[in-house]
Amino acid sequence: MGILLMDFCFLGAKCVVVTAEYRLAPENPFPAAVDDAVTALKWVVDFGKEELGVNPTKVAVGGSSSGGNLATVLSLLASTFTPSIPLTFLLLTIPVIDQTATAETSWSSNANAPWLTPARMTWYRDMYLTHPEDSKKWTASPNLAPKEILAKSPSVWMGVSECDILFEEGKAYAELLRGNGVEVECVVYPGSTHSILSLDGKSLPTSWPQSNKP
């Protein structure tokens, strides 16, 4: 997620925000970005107190769109580490959850939504998942994780856009987690699209340079 979008998400938050400059596809396909997210989380836990002055027992993760996919996968992987890393929270906006989705399945209700079309989303996916079979791995599609791992997810706040092809998979994942005993708040933004965060300008401080405002 871009630095400007991160600013939108965390304005007013009393926390230290760490962004991971993970490797990007197609030069570095799956699972490079997942591996980098894991490395970043472990660094914060191991060195965050000394380097950043943070409490490593109170770590949350979050992301938007493809970053939301990485954050979701990371929130589940954290419970599988030895020792495990107990996360406090997962913050998601318009996340990519199901890498097996198509225009004939969950994308169908918003197949004609602006900007993020099925064709564009499929192109992104093909750059990231160079082996189609990887789409069925839960480290790519966290909704396919075993129930015992889903049940260990931290509490979740998720924002989804009503006119986004990712809308249905986001809502479905919220229900899946609830069914496994996880506390989830899923907020639907009526009439909004996948570009919702880049359209937000009301919460920007007046002291920001005009060039930083959308």
Q: What is the DSSP secondary-structure string of the chain?
A: --HHHHHHHHTT--S---------TTTS-TTHHHHHHHHHHHHHHHHHHHHH---TTS-EEEEETHHHHHHHHHHHHGGGSSS-----EEEEES----TT--TTTTTGGGTT-SSS-HHHHHHHHHHH-SSGGGGGSTTT-GGGS-HHHHTTPPPEEEEEETTSTTHHHHHHHHHHHHHTT--EEEEEETT--TTTGGG--TTS-TTS-GGG--
- How do residues 36-73 score in pLDDT, each as one tens digit? 999 999 999 999 999 999 999 999 999 999 999 999 99
Position 80 scores a pLDDT of 97
Mean pLDDT taken over the chain: 90
| Residue with more model confidence, 42 or 209 | 42
Q: Which of 64, 65, 106, 153 is catalytic?
A: 65
Q: What per-residue confidence (pLDDT) applies to 37?
A: 97
For the question of residue 164 being annotated catalytic, the response is yes
Share of the chain above pLDDT 70, in %: 87
194 is catalytic: yes
Per-residue pLDDT at 172 exceeds 80: yes
| Choice among 64, 98, 164, 192 that is catalytic | 164
Q: Is 65 a catalytic residue?
A: yes
